[in-house]
Amino acid sequence: MKTYLFKTIALVTIAFLSLSCDDDNDTQLTPIATIDTTVENLEATYTTLTISGAVSSDEYLGVTSRGVCWSTSPNPTIEDNITTEIDDVFTSTISDLTANTTYYFRVYAVNDVGVTYSEELAFNTLSLDDSVWNFEIFIDDVTSWNATVTFNADGTTVFDDTVNVVYGSWSLEGNVLTFTIDASGVVYTFAVEGTLFEQTISGVWEDGIMNWIATPFIVEN
């Protein structure tokens, strides 16, 4: 009886130690993912956001895939939009985003055990509200002039080409900007359309002849 009891205790002890080791191995084998971007160091334009992160894993079961996943909804996964990076410390520039939109981000790491995620952070692309832009308007390679355009948060706009200061309205559908200039009492009334890309807007004037490109107005100290 004593021999049987001793064997039973030994088997239970071995099984317990085996499970404990398995738990330790699982912990070691789980990838670690961290997101390093904060509101303070975020690089944002109207259509891009730059996200930095890092991943690590047990040296014997290293990370096989890593990057950033994102969505306009919380808790993005690798089933949503992703970048695929080569290095374990990386910076991903997410492009083709929509202006003035909140995006949710997590860094992900995949190895033979599975996938893990960093904490979730949310960042906004830039908004046109209350921004001022330098417009350069071209008729041809010789003839061009400049204007300043202000897009007020209430949907009104101010167009100033130093000859006339006229008012109108503006709207943004995705990254397509439309604004009207109502100078019917002075010279003209027309609508202008352009597309936002990173830190510029560009388009063709209503007449289809004049091209234009705009960049944010920066006040020099």
Which residue shows structure tokens 């083709």? 96
User: What are the pLDDT digits (tens) for 69-81?
Assistant: 999 999 999 999 9
The DSSP code sequence of 82-149 is E--BSSSEEEEEE-SPPTT-EEEEEEEEE-SS-EEE---EEEE----TTEEEEEEEESSSS-EEEEEE
| Cβ atoms of 100 and 18 closer than 8 Å | no
Separation CA 27–CA 108 (nearest Å): 17
Among 19-33, 110-124, 162-176, the least confident range: 19-33
Of residues 52 and 186, more confidence is placed in 52
Tell me how crowded residue 187 is: count the other CB atoms within 10 A of its CB.
11
DSSP state letter for 219: -
User: What are the pLDDT digits (tens) for 160-213?
Assistant: 988 888 899 999 999 999 998 886 665 567 788 999 999 999 998 777 778 899
What is the value of pTM for the model shown?
A: 0.81
Separation CA 148–CA 181 (nearest Å): 13
Domains in the chain: ranges and CATH: 30-124 (2.60.40.10), 131-216 (2.40.128.20)
Q: Identify the H or E element spanning 6.
A: helix 2-29
